[in-house]
Amino acid sequence: MIATITLNPAIDKSIFIQNFTIGKTNRAHVDRIDPGGKGINVAKVLKQLGCQVITSGFLAGNNGRYISSFLTEQGIMNDFIVIPGETRQNLKIIDPIKKTITEINEPGAEVDECYLKQLMDKVKELASQCQVIVFSGSLPPGLPDYAYKELILLAKEKGTQTILDTGGIALWQGLAACPTLIKPNKYEVEEVLQVKVSEDKLVNIAERLLASGPEIVVISLGARGALLASRQQKMRAYPPVVEANSTVGAGDAMVAVFAYGLERGLSLTDTLRLATAVSAAAAAAHGSEVGDIELAKNMLPEVKIQEI
């Protein structure tokens, strides 16, 4: 079984506006609402892949109840800690003409450290049942920067493999716990290392991150694919060309497949190929909707893997 932990979930509201212009009145063409947050998106993809998955973290208020009900309806086990306040709502403004996505993310409900203690107990319980735990997303207000580090260390005590997908100081602190795998994007790498990352320096950057503790580093590069580095292998994946409708859940789809690969014992090459295809399918979907898994499988031969 795989668990996903989302400390700062959200309801993702996607608004499609043609030729979106700042400072002027814009007319929404279509809109959709999806229960979101990175770990929740990961759980939705894992369900589509046929995995037994449970998701946890913090939920609050009516938005939190909506997310929990949605997950239950989708057959996804969920066991969240309920906190005071209201789970946030994030706005995604998608312009299909300019091919841009503007994201406006609320900070989220404040979490008292007493609730972190409850989550730590829950993670210990989940680590006894799960082969992999995914920790992903931003930290909500109120939690210390080292929250992910503490949670990863608890999971590792039980021998559970861990994936960390976050940015900023939370990623930097989390590296100290030596998670099994991290999956920052290019921007998050630049943020945490305080360097400008060029394509020709990606391998060196990945090696720097490996030296800080994780066993596997995956740097996602959007439409340009991904770079994977471990102590044994270094590979670059190039995705098939798709018409991107929304990149909101593409990185989460990639994380889901790596969790799937770790649980099933797949090779890194096979996992990277599948992760790249599933991520491309997610980019072709709308909002934070799960991509078409069958489409992803059909695209597998189009994914190019280059050993470095």
Residues acting as catalytic residues: 252
Provide the H-helix boundaries in the chain: 38-48, 61-73, 113-127, 147-157, 168-175, 186-193, 202-211, 250-264, 268-284, 293-299
The Cα–Cα gap between 299 and 307 comes to 20
Closest by CA position to 36, among listed 80, 88, 79: 88
Is 120:152 a contact under the CB 8 Å cutoff? no
Q: Hey, what amino acid is at 283?
A: A
The Cα–Cα gap between 9 and 58 comes to 7
List the structure tokens of 156.
């590792």
List the structure tokens of 161.
């493999």
Is 54:126 a contact under the CB 8 Å cutoff? yes
Q: Give the chain's largest Cα–Cα span.
A: 54
> Which residues are bridge partners to 101 per DSSP?
94
> Which residues are bridge partners to 5 per DSSP?
56, 135
Q: Is 94 exposed, middle or buried (0-12, 13-18, 19+ CB in 10 A)?
A: buried
